[in-house]
Structure 1
Amino acid sequence: MVAAAFVAACEAELDAPKPGNVHHFAPGHGMAARDFIASARAAAPHIAAPGASVGARILGAVEATWDAVGQNTNLGIILLCAPLAHAALGAGGDDLARETARVLAGLDVADAQAAFAAIMRANPAGLGAAPEHDVSGTAQTTLLEAMRAAAPRDRIGWQYAHGFEDIFGLGRDALQDARRRGHDAARATLDVYLTFLAAFPDSHIARKYGLDLAQAVQQEAAREAERIRFAPRDEAFAIALAFDRALKDRRVNPGTSADLTVAVLFADSVQPILASAHKNG
């Protein structure tokens, strides 16, 4: 069920016209929706592998993705979803946020080494060298501590350092608000994505092009999100696709915002599984 929830979250994210990112409405950055579907299906058994460590889930999923599509389509998604899956599979309670915090606190050096190997394998754009806990070297600390060191420059590292606060707070709130307003799944996904893109500079943009551009895109996203918020569905999608073309013309991909969106959808799918398992004993 966790593997199926992972694939479903990855596929659902592609149904929304996420500006600057890949989706069913338009390819981008040398990738198409089919690459992400193939990646999700290849990675899912490793994300949900019984008894695996978080690090093993990450490395196995990245290696399977490369065998399937030969490029980095989902490193951020994997880094976010592996701890969530681990929490769900080994949960002692029905609160996914609390269980995820427990998993993060238990990460060790072996998890860090596996994650370092996965990141080197994926070789994301703008990776460069880090002043502390560089992934090209041997891990000297836990994965949690390595992510805490990366947190000031990377929003995925920030999630590890702050108990996945954006997933269980900002993102979940946006999803629930969209549902209260009667939005369908694709429109709700777009709302979550734009919430992240407007809330803080996208790490992927900042890593590749610098903080100034990431902040400029954040400001653009805030304006477009305001236009989209109360627009009818077709109009909202038209505004989003115009923004999508503008970003892709500049070769700008808010990849971290998309990764966070998948994690929100995955957590949302896994939480009821957790609650049902504990309710039924």
Structure 2
Amino acid sequence: MRTAQHAQLALLLEVAGTPKPGNVDRRRDFDDLRFEHFLTGAVGACDGLEAAAAGEPVGESFDTAVAGMSQQRGGNAQFGALLLLVPLVRAATTWGLTPEEASATVEATTVDDAAGFYRAFEHVDVFVEEPPPEAEDLDVRRGADAIPALRDRELTLYDVMELSAPEDGVAAEWTNDFRRTFAAAETVRDGDGPVPDRVAEAFIELLAREPDTMVAKQHGPAVAESVRERAAMLRHAARDEREAFADELVERGVNPGTMADITAAATFVALERDGVVP
């Protein structure tokens, strides 16, 4: 199976894993975002993933992947996951899929890559916080209109991720050697049972270790920490307890989406590098 296909399969396995508290999975939908939207998004992202595998620039490949992912009626299904997968695919097909090579890939991004990233925001609505006044011209919600400011400041895509990393867990993977991604890949690789169950286990492990930054942005740090504490208690709990927690978070509208994005990236690493076969 080709590298881009592994990335696409990782998106499918991530949403198929259950229970993943607070996230869409094969047993849970949101009112406006359903399991089928994630399946469609994974298929739509194929061209962008193939472009990354062929050596196309990271920003351009990401924009293509998001444009394809957006061709379903649910909206933003996998923006953050693709932001991790695209450079990992590029690394895997260029130098090798290791933390060092993944870091080298993102550190080599350019201002043009940053422009591609900003264009991707024109395809789907992505939850972001208000930027500080000194960075209003870099507000990602401006899409392509912010590109002149990027060029004036000579900001690469890695630079943009560095600015976001303190508050955004996906950006932090870019600037921290994809640490959680590669650690969670070991859970997928070494677990027992069907691969979707191992994926769900990796998600719980991630959620138990650090507060989810999406939850912190949407509901505050206290809620994010309480979700982390509850996940830590459930690491060795019976399945019905995890199911109950998953249902509770969906009902409350608490969505640990950052950890789901990292789980998708980790699943790709397990498929591509560790030889995990569903």
Range class of TM-score, shorter chain: 0.7 to 0.9
Residue 61 of structure 2 corresponds to residue 57 of structure 1? yes
CA contact (8 A) 2:47 2:68 kept: no
The answer for the alignment partner of 1:194 in structure 2 is 204
TM-aligned CA deviation for residue 258 of structure 1: 0.6
**RMSD of aligned residue pairs (Cα, Å):** 1.9
Q: How far does residue 222 in structure 1 lie from its aligned partner after superposition?
A: 1.0
The answer to whether residue 159 in structure 2 is matched with residue 145 in structure 1 is yes
Q: Distance in 1 between matches of 2:188 and 2:274?
A: 15
Name 1:230's counterpart in structure 2. none
2:36 aligned partner: 34
> Tell me, which stretches of 5 or more residues in structure 2 are unaligned?
none
- Shift in Å at residue 97 of structure 1? 2.5
After superposition, residues 52-131 of structure 1 pair within 5 angstroms as: 52-69=56-73, 71-91=75-95, 94-130=96-132
Q: How is 1:1-281 mapped onto 2 (pairs within 5 angstroms)? A: 1-17=2-18, 18-49=20-51, 50-69=54-73, 71-91=75-95, 94-130=96-132, 132=135, 133-135=138-140, 136=142, 137-138=146-147, 139=150, 140=153, 141-169=155-183, 171-177=184-190, 179=191, 182-227=192-237, 235-236=238-239, 238-271=240-273
Task: Tell me which amino acid in the other structure corresponds to 1:96.
Answer: T
What per-residue deviation string (whole Å, max 9, x for no partner) do you get for residues 14-33 of structure 1? 22211110111121252111
SS at match of 1:121: coil
- Judge conservation of contact 1:29–1:251 (CA < 8 Å) in 2: no
For the residues of structure 2 that align with 1:97 and 1:163, how far apart are their CA atoms? 5
Name whichever of 238-247 and 115-124 sits farther off: 115-124
Provide structure 1 residue ranges, at least 5 long, that are not aligned to the other structure. 228-234, 274-281
Equivalent residues of 1:38, 1:69 under 8 A apart: no
Whole-Å separation in 2 of the counterparts to 1:30 and 1:60? 24
Cα distance in structure 1, aligned partners of 2:197 and 2:259 = 16
Whole-angstrom distance in 1 between the partners of 2:27 and 2:247: 11
**In the TM superposition, what is the alpha-carbon distance from 1:153 to its structure 2 partner?**
0.3
In the superposition, the TM-score normalised over structure 1's length comes to: 0.86
Q: Percent identity?
A: 25
Secondary structure class of the residue paired with 1:239 = helix
CA contact (8 A) 2:49 2:86 kept: yes
CA distance in 2, matches of 1:77, 1:69: 18
CA contact (8 A) 2:75 2:125 kept: no
Shift of the 185–70 alpha-carbon distance from structure 1 to 2, 3 Å rule, reads closer
CA–CA distance in structure 2, aligned partners of residues 204 and 48 of structure 1? 28
The TM-score normalised by the length of structure 2 is 0.87
Contact map agreement 2:66 2:82 (CA 8 A) in 1:
yes
Q: What number of residue pairs does the alignment pair up?
A: 259
State the partner residue of 1:231: none
Letter in 1 for 2:113: D
Aligned partners of 2:109 and 2:158 also within 8 Å: yes
